Structure 1
């Protein structure tokens, strides 16, 4: 549906001008929920606004269903945007807001009325058609903004951090609701967020961005379980990084002397030597066993988080390591600060990254 081909965006003319997008390419499929994920200033909103037509890249091409739309103004692109602020018209009713875009397109009254009814039913706002935005909650306003954007039946819907203004519980509910809407309409959704949980919850695929570049594209499971760069591993979820050595035979030597065979990223690592291991806290366990553990450390802190408990350890080389145990009331896990404990994990839970 969308093909971004080597676009670059620079703000300013002099050599020191800020480069918001640096030779970015990505292909987004039809009926796909695709998320652009990254920290503030990484270029994700600039890429979204380039697709919408609000920013004009000087290089490259943006194709929608095979047509280069780079020269088209925003109102001629079959694309709609839901902004973070929702931008509803305060003097119009809910129904009036949803009908506005259709009226601007000159659609017949009968078609407008049917579409407004259909869209409000889709977002479960039919009972509030006569209310004004000031009489709605934040979540209800967001639903109206979605209905208004979906009413003209765009080929692509762009969502620019559109859940960030909601409280945590409502945001989680709307994550499921957005995914439902995308599945029911079959429209390609491109969602921008800095929230890793949002991206993992809703997306078919995720593009992780930083400093104007796309670092990795993949399914939520691919991005989480098989990060290909340290930034991706660090940005998505909680991560332990352990310095180790890769031997010529492909085995990894851990700081304590244990050797394991771990996951090498796509493209491999060309030479043996120092590497960084990625180990997720929930894929580890604490051990009191007398047998030599893969890793060991001194327990410095215990943090109870309701569903699970985080154990913070200090390894022999001074690095910090977190082990996460799910809380199981019938068999509570008890350890004491200051204990020297082993850290267990399966070799397939370890991802090897280049230093």
Structure 2
């Protein structure tokens, strides 16, 4: 297995790929002109709501669907039309698809057996995979004797055993409870780093995407809306859909006062002015009302007559590690502040007037 160091080069190149189901008036465009490069040895995530095309794109990479047009290259070789078993790609499905009559060890070695590998190699690789996923003590158990998390580990080990160039994961954590899902996020990232295999992960869960990915693509309606690191997409969303889908967000309709050097001066409710970054491709004009975004943790409660904004408290929601305080601004717009909880901290009462201090540079003007 690889030592975990990311290799150089591109593993997958997707060029102008479209996928259409049906024809004529009933045609459904599942993918439209997808251009995407996935680097060798990275953890890459396709993120978006149900029906956005992420699973269709994964199936195109796997070979279970053929694109209507475009090219798909794996390590420089065009594999469009090539059968799934001819590609150096393996898939972990949402339901794990383990063989119920086989033991854990037999499930892990099954793919190698089908490839005609010698018994000595099957046994050695199975032992290696059992160690990798920490399942040595359960080698002789059947899937029905395992928990959901343990079954997922077996499915991962089985997919990794033939040493594919790419491992495709189709929402493999969705059936697990919250605590186990978080544990498996860490486990998946560990496996990816230790093996050095390129992982392509599909999810609708933005926390999974932010936690595990080296890079991610946000999809909607068969298109990629933004591609980048979790940090870049969270802190610099390109448009309203991305900002809304990735984490919680405050949207404000504000008037542009002036524009200079990639920033816009915006008029806040109450008369103050604040500088905001302008997203790439957005060209606002002075006097125009634009959509500006700021995350709930990028604002702080201050005294009523201080800060950038004045607001009235509507209520608060306790989440354990933090509390979300819901507010109404002076002009009626809604705003949420996320505040880290500390021992003995009291939340402001409903109806109390407070001030809001915005983190410098946090506000951004978006498309949409």
Fold in common (TM above 0.5): yes
Alpha-carbon displacement from aligned partner over 1:157-193 (angstroms, at most 9, x marks no partner):
0000000011110110000000000000000000000
Which of 16-25 and 185-194 deviates more? 16-25
The DSSP-based 3-state class of the residue aligned with 2:99 is coil
Secondary structure at 2:80 match in 1: coil
**2:250 pairs with 1:237:** no
Aligned twin of 2:353: 340
Query: 2-side partners of 1:256 and 1:121: how far apart?
Result: 62
**Residue 281 in structure 1 maps to residue 296 in structure 2:** yes
Among candidates 275, 278, 283, match of residue 261 of structure 1: 275
Q: 1 CA distance for matches of 2:163 and 2:81? A: 22
TM-score by length of 2: 0.93
Deviations 1:57-78 (A, max 9, x none): 1100000000001120111010
Alpha-carbon distance between aligned partners in 2 of 1:95 and 1:308, rounded to the nearest angstrom? 43
Q: How many angstroms does 1:286 deviate by?
A: 1.2
Q: Which residue of 2 aligns with 1:75?
A: 85
Q: Which residue in the other structure is 1:159 paired with? A: 169
SS in 2 for 1:247: strand
Question: Mean Cα displacement is larger for which, 254-263 or 93-102?
Answer: 254-263
In structure 2, how many angstroms separate the alpha carbons of the residues matched to 1:247 and 1:5?
42
TM-score, length of structure 1 as denominator length: 0.97
Deviation, structure 1 residue 317: 2.5
Is 293-302 or 125-134 further displaced after alignment?
A: 293-302
**CA deviation string 1:260-292 (max 9, x = no partner):** 21111123425331111111111111121434x
1:193 paired with 2:206, answer no
Separation of aligned partners in 1, 2:367 and 2:109: 54
Aligned counterparts of 1:83 and 1:271: Cα–Cα separation in 2: 48
* Count of residue correspondences: 353
| Matching residue of 1:308 | 322
The structural deviation recorded for 1:316 is: 2.5
Q: Point out the more displaced range, 269-278 or 62-71.
A: 269-278
Alignment of 1:1-355 (within 5 A): 1-249=11-259, 250-272=264-286, 273-291=288-306, 293-330=307-344, 332-355=345-368
Distance 2:67 2:282 in 1: 34
Shift of residue 246, structure 1, vs aligned partner: 2.0
Q: Report the Cα distance in structure 1 between the residues aligned to 2:220 and 2:232, rounded to whole angstroms.
A: 18
SS in 2 for 1:21: strand
Query: CA contact under 8 A between 1:243 and 1:255: conserved in structure 2?
Result: no
Shift of 1:247: 2.7
Secondary structure of the corresponding residue to residue 297 of structure 2: helix
1:222 match: secondary structure: helix
Q: CA deviation at 1:301?
A: 0.9
